[in-house]
Chain A
């Protein structure tokens, strides 16, 4: 099992450009999450999904969109990148029932110039 994988690992964008971050999990988990981590801020939830075809807003959703067309994939889109979106992005997944722990991917470091 690869667990949770994220593509790409690093990316540099110019202000106004768009991009999509891909998260994939092979654990058949229902729940998936996108977080951003900034210095001194911990991890903040951007968007999440409780199942295929569903998405919901988290704590800091502005400027981002998401899609969950397949159960194993959760995409995070930036339509018009801003320097304030420079951050490390983590995807996580969680199974229904059982423990409450979320399993995290290795992260994507995004810089917006």
Chain B
């Protein structure tokens, strides 16, 4: 059962416009959420995160919004740039179990077009 879902496998946006990537989760024990970005033939790199006690976190062009009641988070990129073209993974950490394990979504391929 997929506890973290990214229902859009791909997204295409024009340069300068806003990119919105969505993520839904089912486990109410998740307390921390992260977004990772991955270029081809490279490992994922951390982008931005948010604790479950907040509803928004902003870092430059990147903002993550968390709606706990809907079990939904989104990543906004404004303005989008061609270098943002990559696969974006949503991840969540559960309060239960040890090891600070993360559960990842299946990823969304973002393409920013000129």
Q: Known contacts being A31-B100, A45-B101, A50-B98, is A40 close to B43, with CB within 8 Å?
A: no
Residues of A within 8 A of B93 (CB): 100
Chain B contact-residue range equals 20 to 34
With CB as the reference atom, state the residue of chain A lying closest to B45. A104
CA distance A44 to B1 in the complex (A): 12
Residues of A within 8 A of B102 (CB): 45, 100, 102
CA distance A56 to B46 in the complex (A): 24
DSSP majority for the B interface?
A: loop
Chain A contact-residue range equals 20 to 34
CA distance A42 to B108 in the complex (A): 10
Residues of A within 8 A of B106 (CB): 40-42
Residues of A within 8 A of B100 (CB): 31, 94, 100
- Chain B 31-48 per-residue mask, 1 if CB under 8 angstroms from chain A, else 0: 010101000011111100
With CB as the reference atom, state the residue of chain A lying closest to B107. A42
A75-113 contacts to B, CB under 8 A, are: 90, 92, 94, 99-107
- Chain B 1-23 per-residue mask, 1 if CB under 8 angstroms from chain A, else 0: 00010100100000000000000
Interchain CB contact under 8 A, A101 and B34: yes
Residues of B within 8 A of A42 (CB): 4, 6, 89, 104-107
Does B49 interact with chain A (Cβ within 8 Å)? yes
**A-contacting residues of B (Cβ < 8 Å)?**
4, 6, 9, 32, 34, 36, 41-46, 49, 89, 93, 98-102, 104-107
Q: Could you list 26 examples of A-B contacts with CB < 8 Å?
A: A33-B101, A40-B9, A40-B106, A41-B106, A42-B4, A42-B6, A42-B106, A43-B44, A43-B89, A43-B104, A44-B104, A45-B101, A48-B101, A58-B101, A90-B44, A92-B43, A100-B49, A100-B93, A100-B102, A101-B34, A101-B49, A104-B43, A104-B45, A105-B43, A106-B43, A107-B42
